[in-house]
Amino acid sequence: MSIQPPHRPLGRARISPGGARTGAVLDFFGNETGADRHRPIPTAARQVRVALIGGFRPRKCGIATFTTDLFEQLGCHNPEVQVDLHVIDSPNESHAYPEARSVIRADQAEDYRIAARRINEDGVDAVWLQHEYGIFGGPEGEMVLDLVDRVAAPLIVTLHTVLAEPDERQRAILQHILRRASRVMVMSQHSQGLLASLYGVPAERVAVIAHGAPDRPFGRSAMFKAAAGHSGKNVLMTFGLLGPGKGLETMIEALPAIVARHPDTIYRIVGATHPNLVAREGEAYRDSLMARAASLGVSANIEWDNRFLDTEELLDSLEECDIYVTPYPNLQQSTSGTLSYAVATGKAVVATPYVHARELLAEDVGVLVPPRSAQALADAIVGLLDDPEALDAMQRRAYAKGRETIWPRFAAASADLVQSAVASAPRQPPLLATPGFAGVVAMSDSTGMLQHSILTVPDRRHGYCLDDNVRALMLMGVADAVPLAERQRWATVYASFIQYAWNPDERRFRNFMAFDRTWCEDVGSEDSNGRTLWALGHAMRHAPDAGLRRWARLWFDIAVEPLAECHYPRAMAFAMLGAMEALRVEPDHAAARALVVRGGDMLHRLLEEERRPDWAWFEAMLGYDNPRMPQALIEAAVMMGRNDWLDSGLAAMRFICGQQVSSTGLFRAIGSETFHRRYEALPFDQQPLEAWAAIDAAAAAFAASGDRAWLDHAEAAYRWFLGANDRGVVLGDIASGRCRDGVTPQGANENCGAESILAFQLSHYAMQALAREAGTILPAVEERQVAGAVVRTNPLTDRDQQGALANT
């Protein structure tokens, strides 16, 4: 069935046919909102910290070499940019990276999430990703999206490949990355043009920075030839990982004509065979090239150096050669680091007209020849060798061109790019930036999670409570950005607390424990018991290892029948949520099914009894965790096939949403001052638990109805943590994962207790799950300026809507 909109907007302002409301921008899901969250904050150049992500030495690939160069040259020439290194490691071979802050195994999804969490905890000013489809895990490297969507700082992306004809998946991945990126770096004007024509990326978001190169003296080839034993020889050279696509076959076929004219010529083929090729077929490809050379009678004129050279040794080899050859058949190659190196060291270059060569070798800096033409290659090389003066002149033009790309200039342009990204950072982090885990750990010890804090310091005087430990156990089941071993460790601590809380004489759980581990009561509240059953059912499905899932089943079976007798509607809602989690694991669990049926009947009956024309609620008063009741009724209706329950649950959900949205579209959690007031809702003090409940309940309503208005309400509730609230105060801290205790009339309650931290953390992972369910890998909003307005593409509908920037 389809739900009707609530009688107040679900966290958004509607857009009239005549255009956007004055002073509004569009929200995360493409709707209008009054908050200006994306106005740039101008800053002067300053000390900044950037997380650099890419391959790194000793990994043998072009991206690794580029990232290594970038890391070293920024450190050498621009010390105001502090660089943290996060290395993408190959799934086929692993290396030690002593410089790295973290290592991401390319094919391990968990590593991307863990790296994003660490980057956020570090509080970096920017994140700089080196992108090439082949270096990340998943089809076309799609695993990197999980990292891109979770980092909070402005994202800079270097695109090492921009395909003119991408397939559907390649296009979708790059579009997703571009939506997230604050700045994009490419190394050719051609790539910038493709970004504009294929992806609609405006020029002001793109920096064209030519590949950097070393600064070495000109004209030392005789010295390096002598050192290598090649005095008096004409030296040609190609460098790179060997594999089909380098054009080496064509160059070998050109060699007989070159040698016939200049017999003292040698062709140095420098580089190891690509490791992926070696893994598939060993050295069969290299052997085939050597066999072809032998059949043509030029084996003696080819020198094979089957190594991936480090940068200094590569430069020495380049200095030795007279002509550098890149006969690539793929003309879409937008970057070649060795081409930049060859030009900067003053080498004549003969190349096919691939993208980078066309731009770098323009104005007679080098010679371009058609691809796959051995005759054209031979003619170009022989022409240069026949005319030493022309060869020398071309080498000098190349050297002069290379002065534009030497490391100091490259590093300066790179530092400017980082500063521009930092200066244009939005006031709030991306919606799904992953919170750190330090705040959870700081509130936990070997007993469990402490209840309260004074500011950020745990307050031991208030000890522990069951409520927080069951929420913490639930977090360990979904916090996929936390290493599995760490989740298992803490889940065991929280599970042990729950286990110890059971009072077998009363067949109930205790709730409050003093810091000296003595219980303050024999029986906890119904709500704490119902919430514990929820956590046990949740752990049956989500706990981070099989042993904990079996443990949860054991304790769920112990507790389910006595706790099914609860009478309070919230306690029953909590227990129902746990029973439904258990049924998702074991559909034939009779006690769980009986509890859901009893609870659904109770909530449906209460709503019918208490309903008034202006009050579609289960009680005459509003309290805490309000949306859990309609959430439980909606989920039970779907599971049990009860349309009457579904109608009631959605009606109650529309009512509570209307109570928790301000006239300006902000989420406004029911304040604690409301508790025990009949038919009334007061705005303060607003607490994080309510926002988390709103997100989960909106997700249930969306799943049941398909109405995307519930997505807007979930987003509004999560943005409440990030500053979109009645006092404009940021409650959730992405770096630490802490959360302030709520919104008061004076601003934020500065204490960071366990309940608030866990509500913030669990809200984040609920939004991650909702984003996936809503039909996208992770939501992203594309923005661009159109006639003074911000146009943002709704990722869930692919429709553009427009709003003017707010004047705040």
> Which region among 235-244, 274-283, 698-707, 783-792 has the lowest average model confidence (pLDDT)?
783-792
Residues 488 and 582 reside in one and the same domain:
yes
**Enclosing domain of residue 666:** 438-794
- Beta sheet of 181-186, edge-to-edge order: 100-105, 81-89, 48-54, 126-131, 155-159, 181-186, 206-208
> Which region among 232-236, 536-540, 663-667, 776-780 has the lowest average model confidence (pLDDT)?
776-780
Residues 102 and 245 reside in one and the same domain:
no
Task: Report DSSP state, residue 300.
Answer: G
Whether 758 has a pLDDT exceeding 80, the answer reads yes
The predicted-structure confidence for 622-636, as pLDDT tens digits, reads as follows 888 999 999 999 999
Residue type (1 letter), 403: R
Per-residue pLDDT, 427: 59
The length of the chain is 808
Candidates 560, 535, 530; CA nearest to 478 is 535
Name all contacts of 302-307 with Cβ < 8 Å and 24+ positions apart.
302/252, 302/255, 302/266, 302/267, 302/268, 302/269, 303/266, 303/267, 303/268, 303/269, 304/269, 305/268, 305/269, 305/270, 305/271, 306/271, 306/272, 306/273, 307/270, 307/271, 307/272
Among 423, 454, 470, the domain-final residue is 423
Q: How far is CA 198 from CA 162, 177, 178, 776, in A?
A: 10, 14, 12, 21
Residues 332 and 303 reside in one and the same domain:
yes
Q: What is the CATH number of the domain that holds 709?
A: 1.50.10.10
- C-alpha span between 211 and 404 (Å, rounded): 10
> Which region among 404-408, 591-595, 753-757 has the lowest average model confidence (pLDDT)?
404-408
Whether 41 has a pLDDT exceeding 60, the answer reads no
Residues 166 and 263 reside in one and the same domain:
no
Q: What is the mean pLDDT of residues 418-440?
A: 83
Provide the 3-class DSSP secondary structure of residue 52.
Answer: strand
Number of domains in the chain: 3
Per-residue pLDDT, 94: 81
Residues 334 and 482 reside in one and the same domain:
no
What residues form DSSP beta bridges with 96? none
The mean pLDDT value of the chain amounts to 86
Q: H or E stretch including 469?
A: helix 466-478
Q: What is the mean pLDDT of residues 156-177?
A: 93
Residues 613 and 717 reside in one and the same domain:
yes
The predicted-structure confidence for 535-589, as pLDDT tens digits, reads as follows 999 999 999 999 999 999 999 999 999 999 888 999 999 999 999 999 999 999 9
Residues 203 and 226 reside in one and the same domain:
no
Residues 618 and 696 reside in one and the same domain:
yes
Structure tokens at 235: 């030296």
Q: Which residues contact 246 (CB under 8 A, 6 or more apart)?
A: 238, 240, 327, 328
- What backbone torsions phi and psi does residue 26 show, to the nearest 5 degrees? -100, 145
451 in any annotated domain: yes
What residues form DSSP beta bridges with 128? 52, 156
CB 719, CB 711: distance < 8 Å: no
624 in any annotated domain: yes
Whether 712 has a pLDDT exceeding 60, the answer reads yes
Per-residue pLDDT, 330: 80
The predicted-structure confidence for 120-165, as pLDDT tens digits, reads as follows 888 899 999 999 999 999 999 999 998 988 887 889 999 998 998 9
60 in any annotated domain: yes
Whether 378 has a pLDDT exceeding 90, the answer reads yes
- C-alpha span between 102 and 127 (Å, rounded): 14
Percent of the chain at pLDDT > 70 equals: 89
> What pairing do the DSSP bridges indicate for beta strands 32-33 and 48-54?
unpaired
- C-alpha span between 706 and 700 (Å, rounded): 10
> Which region among 404-413, 589-598, 662-671, 688-697 has the lowest average model confidence (pLDDT)?
662-671
Whether 48 has a pLDDT exceeding 50, the answer reads yes
Whether 51 has a pLDDT exceeding 50, the answer reads yes
382 in any annotated domain: yes
Residues 190 and 256 reside in one and the same domain:
no
Q: What is the CATH number of the domain that holds 260?
A: 3.40.50.2000
Structure tokens at 97: 């990276």
> Which region among 323-332, 542-551, 600-609 has the lowest average model confidence (pLDDT)?
323-332
Per-residue pLDDT, 92: 79
430 in any annotated domain: no
Residues 205 and 251 reside in one and the same domain:
no
Per-residue pLDDT, 728: 85
431 in any annotated domain: no
Per-residue pLDDT, 275: 78
465 in any annotated domain: yes
The predicted-structure confidence for 271-282, as pLDDT tens digits, reads as follows 888 877 888 888
- Work out the pLDDT band at 510, boundaries 50, 70, 90: very high
Residues 660 and 757 reside in one and the same domain:
yes
Q: What is the mean pLDDT of residues 732-744?
A: 93
- C-alpha span between 760 and 396 (Å, rounded): 61
| pLDDT top residue among 362 and 801 | 362
- What backbone torsions phi and psi does residue 359 show, to the nearest 5 degrees? -80, -45
Per-residue pLDDT, 775: 67
> Which region among 6-20, 191-205, 248-262, 670-684 has the lowest average model confidence (pLDDT)?
6-20
Per-residue pLDDT, 37: 31
The separation between the first and the last C-alpha atoms of the chain, rounded to the nearest angstrom, is 40
CB 295, CB 321: distance < 8 Å: no
- C-alpha span between 301 and 385 (Å, rounded): 16
Per-residue pLDDT, 615: 86
Whether 797 has a pLDDT exceeding 60, the answer reads no
- C-alpha span between 535 and 543 (Å, rounded): 10
4 in any annotated domain: no
Q: How far is CA 239 from CA 336, 448, 490, 545, 621, in A?
A: 10, 58, 51, 48, 76
Residues 510 and 583 reside in one and the same domain:
yes
